[in-house]
């Protein structure tokens, strides 16, 4: 979930909780106040009825009934009068709303009691009388208007809370988006910075807030990276010359000594061994420098229209020259007639190095020193497959062989430095392509270079 949604939800969650708690408190206190008001009104009615009943003799009960119905009475009001023995002396309705003898006893015991009867009827019981006689008057009614008010309040609170939640969510989203906007700008600028424009810096705004601090930190990091890249570039360009020159001089001198002392077998053997070691060192330093060059800066690669079949022919010729015993078969059967299908934008030299590595690996690790190469093209991609019937690579090692200096355990006796595939994979990815490998131990391997048409991204 993106951070601005998280912030908006947190904000809406907090506001919603506050709204729900306050709405509940308002509703509960209103319900309590309605109940108290109604009990007070019932109590007043009970006192009026009691004072009237005291002055009216038994013969005038009908008059009292009339007063009950004509006077401003409460909704569905019922008046009941009981004597000390719990016998009902008066009831203005034909039914009894569950006013039991226990309730009547409670009235005589406590003088005034509040009653919660069935079907939302509420009532009040009061005792009246004097030393000679006393009665319990129980008045009950339903607070129709009070309940209606409570219902309206409930609906208003629910609507208010829901609207509050929606508004707080929208407001949260709005403010989170506003607060994070500078962050998105920073991310956009950082995404546009690559090794080609490391000199660019982020705008640090007012220099006081967290975003400015983040931008300054990025700028400091970019400065360090730029410096490190510059040093690495300088190293690669100088080392290339400084490493090879002394090695070439040594090789030259060995050749001269070999010519000058033809009849000294022991010296000749030592000089030939020295020459072999120097050639190995030369090859290793060349590969290391090629890898460093390809890794330091993609802009080192030159971009031109390159014909893949021609690069492949050059690579095959170079391998055949260096290793005459290699048998390289090129399959033309799927080669398209259209020249444009075989053309890509890329660096010819780098692509040739990559193909030479794959060809020499195929021959080196195959039992008969042979490799089978085929090309397939479509309008969007070119696939070059290098298949050998060699020793194969265990599945568990397939993802490691492209790491620099990695060599499969069992192949340590076959000469190599473990740099060829690292360089090849870097070159192919520089060209926006990738390498697929299929291999089975004891049966052989197929390395397929897949190149897109829009190269050098
Ligand atoms: P090198 O060939 O100099 O050892 P690479 O980087 O070219 O280094 O290859 C790395 C490792 O991958 C090799 O040591 C070898 O174990 C394995 N490998 C590469 N190509 C093949 C192949 N065609 N058949 C079998 N193993 C291979």
pLDDT band at 418 (very low <50, low <70, confident <90, very high): confident
* Ligand 1 mean position, distance from CA 428 (Å): 17
pLDDT at 48 over 50: yes
State the distance from the centre of ligand 1 to the C-alpha of 358, rounded, in angstroms: 9
C-alpha to C-alpha distances, 292 to 55, 224, 296, 355, 358, nearest whole angstrom = 117, 19, 6, 18, 19
Distance of CA 407 from the midpoint of ligand 1 (Å): 6
Per-residue pLDDT at 352: 92
- Report residue 456's pLDDT band, with 50, 70 and 90 as the boundaries: very low
Q: What is the pLDDT of residues 301-339, one digit of tens each?
A: 667 889 999 999 999 999 999 889 899 999 877 776 677
Res 54: pLDDT: 64
What's the confidence (pLDDT) of residue 335?
Answer: 73
Reference 430, options 347, 311, 310; nearest CA is 347
Residue 57 has pLDDT above 60, yes or no: no
> Is the model's pLDDT at 192 over the cut of 50?
yes
Per the CB < 8 A criterion, the answer to whether 284 and 417 are in contact is yes
CA–centroid distance, 322 to ligand 1, in Å, is 18
| Cα 269 to Cα 305: distance, rounded to the nearest angstrom | 48
- Check residue 280 and give its pLDDT: 83
Q: Between 335 and 455, where is the model more confident?
A: 335
Give pLDDT, residue 144.
92
**Residue 430 pLDDT greater than 60, yes or no:** yes
Ligand 1 pocket by Cβ (under 6 Å): 357, 361-362, 365, 388, 390-393, 401, 406-408, 411, 416-422, 445
Atom of ligand 1 nearest to the CA of 406: 10
Q: What separation in Å is there between the alpha carbon of 237 and the centre of ligand 1?
A: 28
Q: What is the pLDDT of residue 93?
A: 80
pLDDT value for 63 = 63
Atom of ligand 1 at shortest distance to CA of 390? 24
Q: Stretch 337-362: mean pLDDT, rounded? A: 88
* Mutation to probe ligand 1, out of 407, 427, 440, 441 (largest number of atoms < 8 A from CB): 407
Task: Give 429 Cα–ligand 1 centroid separation in angstroms.
Answer: 18
* Distance (Å) from CA 351 to ligand 1 centroid: 18
Residue 457: the pLDDT is: 43
Q: What is the pLDDT of residues 355-402, one digit of tens each?
A: 999 999 999 999 888 999 999 888 888 999 999 999 999 999 998 999
Ligand 1: centre distance to CA 320 (Å): 19
Strand-by-strand arrangement of the 134-141 sheet: 88-91, 78-83, 134-141, 122-129, 112-116
pLDDT of residue 223: 92
Tell me what pLDDT residue 66 has: 63
Which residues are paired to 114 by β-bridges? 124
Q: Which atom of ligand 1 is nearest to 423's Cα?
A: 6
Q: Collapsing DSSP states into helix, strand and coil, what is residue 230?
A: helix
> Which atom, in ligand 1's list, is nearest to the CA of 357?
7
Name the residue at shortest CA distance from atom 20 of ligand 1. 361
Query: What mean pLDDT do residues 187-202 have?
Result: 83
Q: By CB neighbour count within 10 A (0-12 exposed, 13-18 middle, 19+ buried), where does 357 fall?
A: buried
**Distance (Å) from CA 333 to ligand 1 centroid:** 28
Of the chain, the percentage scoring pLDDT greater than 70 comes to 91
**Most ligand 1 atoms within 8 A of CB, residue of 290, 399, 403, 411 to mutate:** 411
Rounded Cα gap, residues 234 and 78, in angstroms: 105
Q: Do the beta carbons of residue 159 and residue 19 sit within 8 Å?
A: no
Q: Over the stretch 128-176, which tens digit does the pLDDT of each residue have?
A: 887 777 889 999 999 999 999 999 999 999 999 999 999 999 999 999 9
Residue 198 corresponds to which tokens in the numbers above? 């490391």
Average pLDDT over residues 58-69: 60
Name the CA dihedral angle for 298, 301, 307, 311, rounded to a multiple of 10 degrees.
-110
| pLDDT for res 272 | 92
Please tell me the least confidently modeled range out of 6-15, 58-67, 306-315, 322-331: 58-67
Q: Which atom of ligand 1 is nearest to the CA of 391?
A: 25
Q: Nearest 5°: phi and psi at 91?
A: -155, 120
Please identify, by atom number, the ligand 1 atom nearest to the C-alpha of residue 422: 6
Q: What pLDDT shows up at residue 123?
A: 94
CA of 362 to the centre of ligand 1 (A): 8
Looking at residue 118, what DSSP letter applies? S
Taking residues 23-31, what's their average pLDDT?
A: 97
Lowest mean pLDDT among 65-69, 166-170, 231-235, 278-282: 65-69
pLDDT band at 299 (very low <50, low <70, confident <90, very high): low
Query: How much is the pTM?
Result: 0.55
**How far is 63 from 153, CA to CA, in rounded Å?**
41
pLDDT confidence band for 181 (50 / 70 / 90) = confident
Confidence band for 86, pLDDT divided at 50, 70 and 90: confident
Q: Which residues contact 104 (CB under 8 A, 6 or more apart)?
A: 82, 86, 125, 136, 138
Confidence band of 249 (pLDDT split at 50, 70, 90): very high
Banded model confidence at residue 300, pLDDT cuts 50, 70, 90 = low
Structure confidence by residue, pLDDT tens digits, 100-114: 889 999 999 999 999
The model's confidence at residue 455, banded by pLDDT at 50, 70 and 90, is: very low
Lowest-confidence pick of 60-69, 227-236, 246-255, 310-319: 60-69
According to the model, what pLDDT value does residue 75 have? Answer: 82
Q: Residue 305: in which H helix or E strand, if any? A: strand 304-307
The closest residue, in CA terms, to atom 14 on ligand 1 is: 407
Q: Span 85-98, mean pLDDT?
A: 82
Could you give the CA distance from residue 346 to residue 358 in angstroms, rounded to a whole number?
18
Quick one: average pLDDT of 63-91? 77
Band the pLDDT of 61: cuts 50, 70, 90: low
């Amino acid at each position: 979930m993106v951070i601005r949604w998280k912030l908006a939800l947190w904000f809406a969650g907090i506001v919603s909780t506050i709204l729900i708690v306050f709405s509940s408190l308002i509703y509960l206190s209103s319900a309590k106040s309605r109940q108290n008001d109604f009990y007070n009104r019932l109590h007043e009615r009970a006192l009026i009825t009691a004072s009237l009943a005291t002055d009216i003799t038994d013969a005038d009960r009908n008059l009292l009934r009339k007063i009950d119905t004509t006077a401003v009475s409460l909704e569905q009001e019922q008046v009941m009068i009981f004597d000390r023995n719990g016998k009902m002396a008066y009831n203005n309705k034909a039914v009894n709303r569950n006013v039991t003898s226990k309730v009547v006893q409670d009235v005589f015991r406590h003088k005034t009691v509040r009653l919660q009867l069935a079907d939302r009827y509420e009532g009040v019981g009061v005792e009246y009388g004097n030393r000679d006689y006393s009665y319990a008057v129980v008045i009950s009614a339903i607070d129709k208007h009070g309940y209606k008010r409570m219902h309206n309040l409930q609906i208003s609170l629910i609507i208010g809370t829901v609207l509050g939640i929606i508004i707080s969510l929208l407001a949260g989203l709005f403010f989170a988006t506003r607060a994070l906007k500078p962050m998105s700008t920073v991310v956009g600028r950082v995404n546009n910075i690559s090794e080609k424009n490391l000199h660019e810096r982020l705008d640090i705004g007012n220099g006081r807030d967290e975003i400015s601090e983040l931008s300054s930190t990025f700028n400091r990091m970019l400065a360090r990276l730029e410096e490190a890249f510059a040093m690495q570039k300088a190293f690669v360009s100088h080392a290339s010359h400084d490493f090879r020159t002394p090695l070439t001089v040594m090789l030259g001198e060995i050749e001269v000594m070999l010519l000058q002392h033809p009849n000294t077998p022991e010296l000749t053997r030592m000089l030939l061994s020295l020459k072999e070691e120097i050639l190995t060192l030369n090859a290793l330093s060349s590969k290391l420098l090629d890898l460093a060059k390809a890794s330091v800066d993609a802009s080192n690669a030159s971009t031109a229209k390159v014909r893949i079949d021609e690069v492949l022919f050059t690579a095959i010729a170079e391998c055949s020259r260096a290793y005459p015993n290699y048998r390289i078969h090129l399959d033309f059967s799927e080669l398209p007639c259209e020249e444009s299908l075989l053309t890509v934008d890329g660096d010819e030299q780098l692509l040739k190095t990559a193909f030479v590595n794959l060809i020499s690996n195929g021959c080196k690790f195959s039992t008969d020193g042979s490799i089978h190469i085929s090309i397939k093209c479509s309008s969007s991609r070119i696939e070059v497959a290098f298949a050998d019937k060699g020793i194969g690579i265990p599945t568990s090692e397939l993802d490691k062989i492209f790491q620099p200096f990695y060599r499969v355990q069992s192949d340590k006796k076959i000469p190599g430095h473990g740099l060829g595939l690292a360089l090849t994979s870097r070159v192919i990815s520089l060209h926006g392509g990738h390498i697929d490998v299929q291999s089975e131990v004891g049966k052989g391997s197929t390395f397929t270079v897949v190149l897109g048409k829009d190269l050098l991204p």
